[in-house]
């Protein structure tokens, strides 16, 4: 670790937080309908779609609208991928995507997971990338934000019957938030040399005289939304490690900023929407604290290097550079890793499979903690609110009152639904991993033996169920078993989680908002921040310890003992 | 404010009903009941302990099988034994809590003997009655109860007046007056009429009387889970399922590289991870909370009401008798110029000679204490002028002169003429300060004024300060005018007051507070309090009050002491805190258990994981067994805390949370590290593992 490295990390995080403040306030204003500079466009969309923007929806109506929109998105994307061979904007003449892979990919992009069992430049036509994947990048992010707004509204006042209008939230978040930001960030990427073209791939002869195909495409703007929407699906196969996708340290810093800014901003939006900014700040503090600690562990583990390499006489100055890009360096790779997994983005600029065991443990554990640090666009906020409710419930009893969060009593129904949501991740991750480690059809996908092989499988289901989408590597993912079960894990991680969360929102919305007193459990300030951080770790993380002990933790101690896998 | 409300609340205010926390007979009976409670059909109500029992059965079968096949079986048997003990300790905790309640119920039941009732055949003829066993009484029937009779069932006095010994219910042996009309008309079945007679209209059918309900409640027979308890149960069940998933999937995960752990080991891991500590103590905590309330002579109609008490934000307290000593008392004599204070005091005392009201008594007492004036009890040649609502003047005519005292305006009207400016000034000052001025005259000459004052009970200001720190606003309710009310409110240190309060005002105030999202508690006794008692989230009715008030409230105070509302709130809070603290403790325990069990389980496949054995436990078997033993023993160790309740300190939510998180959160993380290590060392010493 170097001071320079830490300075880079601090600068990027500072910029993230500094911009999250105005963005958070802005999103709250958009959600309340106070931002209207695109009102004519908005009206036109509602007119065509036959949406009455004034009509509020209860939690069921809101959730059903969301499910319907996502089901339609899935069907359209699946059809587009299957049929891409017959459609235009396919200069490389790619065939349609095979059924299982198309199923997996369509779910992946609809659920904001963006797990990729394909390599973009070798499989996707420009039309699929633009009209299929990019569109879902916008819609899945807007869906997540819309759901988060609905949940925020449930806390805002007492006796509410509706949580807003899903279609209005979807349109407004796309029009006023995602499109302008993507436009600006995309232009910046173009300026940094990221391609944005419909021209076919370039055939080049290298200095050694070898013929090489240089893939191109409409990448810059897709990459912009890939990060802003915490999607993470790379335009190119190796994601942000690709020289066209992450051309420079500056570009990678901008990507880190982009994949963090909306989740952090939404924490503050929550504060604005419930009328107490301190509440949002407390959530943000928990998120930021974890990001810093996780970054520090990855940074330390990776710059510490591999003891076996050091023993063999490798220069210790670089640390473990296997699988990392020299143009980013250790600090930005560590920050990128912690933020892409903490933020449910899933873009990568380094290969986790080549990390030290502890360096690889951190991204996996961050996802298992429930994608709340800061989590995906919208999903991070509504997920950390589930933990906040549970924290308030357990510890809140200790102040001698029926636990309440922001004046809403947390009672049996909320606890039941919250536990249902919390159950989704361990069931999907551990369940599928356990089965896959004994099923011959699945075992054949694993590259390495021992605990490292277990990590490869565990990471895949972790990434899918956590809707992260990053890959550990070392796993042949394009098989019917993995495509199918990972797709299922993604569906569970998104929808089996959010439906109970919306039911909580519906239940809380209807409750009266109790007045605050000195006897009220304070949900801002250092005590609550520490408590929430602990609850995330204990309720979100403890159940994964046995699995992690058999994977990266065992590997770590084996490595110290000189054993590799 | 009592610094230790926990013990305060636990103290018995009456003799004979306070049992030691854990006495021999209770423990013996509880041990037997604990075994009976192992019945899975009963245990299924408690998901965590039910799962533990299922796992215990499984491991027992495996140990027996291993023994039958001649395989090593002692380790499995050891695990099975301690898993069974875990279940048993949990059922024991519940049995102990119930046993303590039952001991109280038995003493109550003695009062409910077979009573013969004198049922009146005609409402207007007391002489015409037929004897009938109390069980045969129907609601609405009239019974005659005479001196020496037990009142056969709950009812309302419709005729007569009698003194009644209610010791059976309240523990208080001094008789109380029960009469028709007014606010002292309710009588309780099982209490004894010691003088005179009353006619009672039966209001409760046999089996559902106050005493029956009380017995049912303290025995836990009619105990239903409270809302918070249900929510907590769900949380614990959810955690149990999550850890079931984590442990079950280990079979697949571990078989990737080496042998999966044995079922006994997985069972040990599961049971130590699921929240058995709080799961085992949860119902004991609930029963004990109810029990504390009963010991405190307050009877709640449901556990829900006790919980609600903990949530209260606003406390409505009657001024008279609750905040102040109940009656105005003489506090000063203010003579007009030209009159000596002693002369005024003498006249005031004489004018109050025949005044039997507490105010009149206080004037005599004050004159004696301050000026050493003693008057003969009843001078021979005295003509008493009694107080009437029309004249509002009372006094006495003696050979030495005629002495009068009364409301200032009434006195002026009666004497004619204007008040001297000095008197007018004194009267204004007294009224401004919240007092009541009385004018005193001798032979139609105004001598001065008596200041009557409400005396705030000592210590009330400190209690209200403590309530404020708890986040509870106190509101004083009084029939006084605004000015008087404001002065007393300021002196007592309450947050708000309702002056010239009518029953409608109280109701409106409660509704308004509730609309603002506050929970309201109030105490009341009269029939006109009933609507407000019903509207309040916690309504504490007085045992001496009317039947209507008792029905409307959700708690009854047998001592009829409205200030107890404050302790009721504390007991409610204590109940919730105990649950939260033990849940936190239970969950925090898991960290250390992981460090004990995980390296032990996987050390065969990955010897390097021994590095995680930070406690340096002797062997994998010893580590696993130590964790299981700790997990079982901690339940027993915490039974006294569960029964007594975590101490409640009125310091405000933030400070309370910090304190409890420190003790039960961090303590919960640290304790098992120490405990497991000690158990491991003992096992080594004994050569058991």
Do both B338 and B442 map to the same domain?
yes
Q: Report which DSSP code applies to B608.
A: G
pLDDT at B15: 34
B483 within some domain: yes
C-alpha–C-alpha distance, residues B620 and B601, integer Å: 7
Map residue B159 onto helix, strand or coil.
strand
pLDDT at B326: 64
Catalytically annotated residue among B149, B318, B557, B559: B318
Do both B343 and B377 map to the same domain?
yes
Q: Which two tokens stand for residue A450?
A: 């021992």
- Biggest CA–CA distance in chain A, Å, is 77
CA A39 to chain B, closest CA, distance in angstroms equals 37
Lowest mean pLDDT among A485-494, A511-520, B267-276: A511-520
* Average pLDDT of the residues of chain B: 84
* Average pLDDT of the residues of chain A: 92
Mark yes or no for CB contact A450/B257 under 8 Å. yes
C-alpha–C-alpha distance, residues B570 and B647, integer Å: 10
Mark yes or no for CB contact A521/B653 under 8 Å. yes
pLDDT beyond 60 at B422: yes
Do both B331 and B449 map to the same domain?
yes
The minimal CB distance from A419 to the residues B235, B583, B601 is found for B235
Q: Give the whole-number percent of chain B exceeding pLDDT 70.
A: 91
Nearest residue on chain A to B578, alpha-carbon basis: A398
pLDDT at B444: 84
Q: Which of B455, B484, B519 is the last residue of a domain?
A: B455
Do both B577 and B595 map to the same domain?
yes
B537 labelled catalytic: no
**Which CATH number goes with the domain that contains B441?**
3.40.1110.10
Region A151-178: mean pLDDT is: 94
Would the annotation count B355 as a binding residue? yes
Nearest residue on chain B to A561, alpha-carbon basis: B608
B435 within some domain: yes
pLDDT beyond 80 at B206: no
Q: Give the whole-number percent of chain A exceeding pLDDT 90.
A: 73
Lowest mean pLDDT among A257-271, A305-319, B128-142, B375-389: B375-389
Mark yes or no for CB contact B654/A419 under 8 Å. no
Do both B590 and B535 map to the same domain?
no
Q: Are B240 and B48 in contact (CB under 8 A)?
A: yes
Interface with B, mutate which of A155, A395, A398 (most B CBs under 10 A): A398
What is the pTM assigned to this prediction?
A: 0.85
- Written as one string, the DSSP assignment of A145-190 is HHHHHHHHHHHHSSS------HHHHHHHIIIIIIHHHHHHHHHHHH
Region B6-11: mean pLDDT is: 35
* Structural domain span for residue B432: 327-455
pLDDT at B131: 87
B500 within some domain: yes
Query: So what's the ipTM on this one?
Result: 0.93
C-alpha–C-alpha distance, residues B288 and B298, integer Å: 14
Region B70-79: mean pLDDT is: 91
pLDDT at B111: 58
B489 within some domain: yes
C-alpha–C-alpha distance, residues B103 and A472, integer Å: 64
Would the annotation count B170 as a binding residue? no
Chain A contact present for B652, CB below 8 A: yes
Region B240-246: mean pLDDT is: 95
pLDDT at B515: 85
Burial B253-272 (b: 16+ CB within 10 A, else e): bbebbeebbbbbbbbbbbbb
B212 within some domain: no
pLDDT beyond 80 at B547: no
C-alpha–C-alpha distance, residues B633 and B93, integer Å: 12
Reported as a single tens digit per residue, the pLDDT across A348-394 is: 888 888 889 999 999 999 999 988 889 999 999 999 999 999 999 98
**Which CATH number goes with the domain that contains B161?**
2.70.150.10
Chain A contact present for B235, CB below 8 A: yes
Do both B98 and B235 map to the same domain?
yes
Q: Which of B177, B203, B229 is the last residue of a domain?
A: B203
The minimal CB distance from A398 to the residues B230, B307, B580 is found for B580
C-alpha–C-alpha distance, residues A423 and A113, integer Å: 19
Q: Report which DSSP code applies to A353.
A: G
Chain A contact present for B611, CB below 8 A: yes
Do both B469 and B376 map to the same domain?
no
Map residue B564 onto helix, strand or coil.
helix
B226 within some domain: yes
Into how many domains does chain B fold?
4
pLDDT at B318: 81
**Which CATH number goes with the domain that contains B316?**
3.40.50.1000
B474 within some domain: yes
Do both B450 and B345 map to the same domain?
yes
Region B4-33: mean pLDDT is: 55
* Contacts of residue B336, Cβ cutoff 8 Å, sequence gap at least 6: B420, B422, B423, B426, B446, B447, B448
B16 within some domain: no
Do both B346 and B438 map to the same domain?
yes
Do both B576 and B445 map to the same domain?
no
Residue extents of the structural domains in chain A? 3-202+212-275
């Amino acid at each position: 670790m170097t001071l320079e490295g830490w300075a880079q990390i601090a600068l990027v995080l500072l910029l993230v937080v500094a911009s999250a403040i105005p963005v958070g306030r802005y999103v709250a204003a958009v959600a309340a309908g106070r931002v209207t500079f695109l009102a004519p466009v908005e009206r036109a969309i509602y007119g065509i779609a036959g949406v009455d923007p004034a009509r509020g929806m209860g939690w069921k109506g809101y959730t059903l609208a969301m499910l319907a929109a996502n089901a339609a998105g899935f069907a359209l994307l699946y059809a587009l991928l299957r049929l891409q061979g017959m459609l235009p904007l396919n200069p490389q003449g790619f065939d349609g995507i095979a059924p299982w892979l198309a199923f997996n990919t369509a779910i992946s992009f609809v659920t904001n997971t963006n797990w990729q069992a394909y390599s973009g430049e070798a499989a996707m036509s420009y039309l699929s990338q633009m009209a299929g994947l990019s569109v879902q990048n916008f819609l899945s992010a807007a869906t997540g934000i819309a759901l988060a707004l609905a949940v925020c509204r449930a806390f805002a006042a007492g006796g509410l019957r509706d949580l807003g209008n899903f279609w209005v939230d979807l349109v407004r978040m796309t029009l006023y938030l995602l499109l302008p930001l993507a436009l600006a960030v995309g232009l910046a990427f173009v300026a940094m040399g990221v391609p944005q073209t419909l021209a076919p791939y370039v055939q080049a002869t290298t200095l050694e005289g070898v013929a090489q195909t240089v893939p191109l495409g409409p990448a810059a703007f897709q990459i912009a939304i890939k990060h802003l929407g915490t999607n993470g699906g790379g335009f190119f196969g190796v994601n942000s490690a690709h020289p066209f996708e992450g051309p420079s340290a500056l570009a990678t810093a901008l990507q880190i900023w982009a994949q963090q800014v909306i989740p952090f901003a939404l924490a503050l939006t929550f504060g604005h929407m419930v009328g107490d900014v301190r509440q949002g700040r407390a959530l943000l503090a928990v998120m930021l604290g974890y990001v810093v600690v996780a970054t520090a562990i990855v940074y330390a583990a990776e710059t510490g290097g591999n003891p076996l390499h050091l023993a063999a006489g490798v220069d210790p100055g670089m640390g473990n550079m296997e699988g990392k890009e020299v143009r980013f360096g250790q600090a930005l790779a560590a920050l990128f890793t912690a933020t892409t997994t903490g933020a449910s983005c899933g873009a990568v600029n380094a290969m986790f499979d080549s990390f030290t065991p502890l360096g690889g443990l951190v991204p996996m554990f961050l996802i298992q903690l429930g994608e709340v640090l800061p989590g995906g666009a919208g999903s991070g906020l509504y997920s950390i609110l589930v933990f906040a409710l549970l924290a308030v419930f357990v510890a809140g009893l200790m102040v001698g009152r029926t636990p309440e969060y922001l004046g809403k009593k947390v009672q049996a129904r909320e606890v039941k639904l919250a536990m249902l949501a919390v159950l989704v991740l361990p069931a999907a991750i551990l369940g599928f991993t356990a089965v896959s480690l004994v099923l011959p059809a699945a075992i054949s996908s694993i590259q390495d033996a021992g605990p490292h092989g277990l990590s490869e499988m565990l990471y895949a289901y972790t990434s899918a169920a956590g809707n992260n989408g990053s890959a550990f590597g070392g796993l042949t993912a394009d098989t019917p078993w993995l495509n199918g079960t990972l797709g299922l894990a993604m569906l569970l991680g998104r929808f089996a989680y959010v439906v109970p969360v919306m039911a909580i929102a519906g239940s809380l919305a209807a409750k009266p908002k109790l007045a605050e007193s000195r006897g009220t459990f304070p949900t801002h300030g250092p005590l609550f921040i520490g408590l929430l951080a602990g609850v995330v770790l204990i309720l979100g993380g403890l159940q994964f310890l046995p699995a992690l002990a058999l994977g990266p933790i065992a590997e770590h101690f084996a490595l110290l003992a000189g054993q590799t896998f | 404010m009592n610094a230790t409300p926990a013990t305060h609340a636990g103290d018995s205010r009456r003799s004979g009903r306070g049992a030691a926390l854990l006495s021999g007979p209770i423990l013996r009976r509880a041990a037997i009941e604990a075994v009976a409670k192992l019945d899975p059909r009963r245990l299924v109500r408690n998901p965590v302990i039910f799962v533990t029992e299922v796992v215990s059965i499984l491991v027992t079968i495996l140990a027996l099988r291993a023994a039958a096949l001649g395989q090593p079986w002692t380790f499995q048997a050891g695990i099975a034994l301690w898993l069974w003990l875990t279940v048993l300790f949990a059922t024991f905790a519940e049995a102990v809590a119930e046993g303590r309640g039952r001991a109280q119920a038995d003493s109550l039941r003695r009062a409910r003997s077979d009573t013969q009732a004198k049922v009146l055949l005609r409402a207007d003829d007391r002489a015409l009655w037929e004897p009938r066993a109390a069980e045969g009484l129907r609601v609405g029937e009239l019974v005659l109860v005479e001196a020496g009779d037990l009142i056969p069932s709950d009812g309302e006095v419709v005729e007569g007046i009698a003194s009644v010994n209610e010791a059976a219910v309240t523990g208080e042996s001094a008789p109380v007056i029960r009469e028709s009309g007014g606010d002292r008309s309710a009588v309780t079945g099982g209490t004894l009429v010691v003088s005179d007679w009353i006619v009672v209209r039966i209001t409760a059918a046999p089996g559902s009387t106050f005493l029956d309900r009380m017995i049912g409640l303290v025995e836990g027979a009619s105990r239903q889970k409270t809302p918070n308890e249900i929510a907590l149960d769900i949380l614990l069940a959810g955690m149990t399922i999550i850890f079931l998933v984590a442990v079950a999937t280990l079979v697949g995960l571990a078989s990737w590289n080496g042998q999966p752990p044995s079922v006994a080991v997985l069972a040990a891991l599961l049971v130590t991870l699921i929240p058995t500590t709080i799961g085992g103590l949860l119902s004991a905590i609930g029963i004990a909370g109810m029990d504390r309330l009963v010991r405190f002579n307050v009877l709640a109609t449901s556990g829900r009401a006790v919980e609600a008490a903990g949530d209260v934000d606003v406390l409505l307290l009657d001024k008279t008798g609750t905040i102040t000593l109940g009656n105005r008392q003489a506090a000063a004599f203010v003579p007009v110029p030209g009159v000596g204070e002693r002369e005024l005091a003498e006249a005031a005392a004489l004018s109050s000679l025949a005044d039997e009201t507490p105010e009149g008594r206080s004037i005599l007492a004050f004159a004696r204490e301050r000026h050493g004036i003693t008057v003969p009890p009843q001078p021979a040649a005295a003509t008493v002028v009694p107080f009437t609502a029309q004249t509002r003047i009372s006094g006495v005519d003696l050979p030495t002169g005629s002495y009068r005292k009364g409301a200032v305006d009434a006195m002026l009207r009666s004497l004619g003429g204007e008040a001297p400016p000095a008197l007018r000034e004194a009267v204004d000052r007294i009224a401004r300060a919240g007092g009541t001025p009385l004018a005193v005259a001798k032979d139609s000459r105004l001598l001065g004024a008596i200041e009557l004052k409400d005396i705030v009970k000592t210590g009330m200001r400190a209690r209200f300060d403590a309530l404020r720190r708890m986040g509870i606003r106190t509101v004083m309710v009084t029939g006084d005018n605004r000015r008087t009310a404001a002065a007393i409110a300021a002196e007592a240190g309450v947050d708000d007051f309702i002056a010239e309060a009518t029953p409608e005002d109280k109701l409106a105030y409660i509704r308004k507070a509730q609309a603002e999202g506050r929970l309201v508690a109030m105490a009341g006794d009269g029939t006109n309090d009933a609507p407000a008692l019903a509207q309040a989230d916690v309504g504490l009715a007085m045992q001496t009050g009317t039947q209507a008030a008792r029905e409307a409230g959700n708690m009854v105070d047998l001592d009829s002491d409205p200030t107890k509302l404050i302790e009721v709130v504390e007991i409610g809070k204590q109940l919730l805190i105990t649950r939260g603290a033990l849940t936190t403790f239970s969950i925090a325990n898991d960290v250390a258990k992981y460090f004990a069990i995980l390296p032990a389980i996987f050390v065969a496949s990955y010897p390097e994981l021994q590095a995680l054995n930070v406690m340096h436990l002797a062997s994998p078997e010893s580590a696993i067994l130590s964790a299981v033993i700790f997990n079982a023993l901690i339940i027993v160790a915490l039974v006294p805390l569960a029964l007594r309740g975590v101490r409640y300190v009125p310091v405000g939510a933030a400070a309370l949370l910090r304190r409890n998180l420190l003790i039960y959160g961090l303590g919960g993380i640290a304790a098992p590290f120490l405990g497991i290590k000690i158990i491991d060392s003992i096992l080594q010493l004994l050569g058991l593992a």
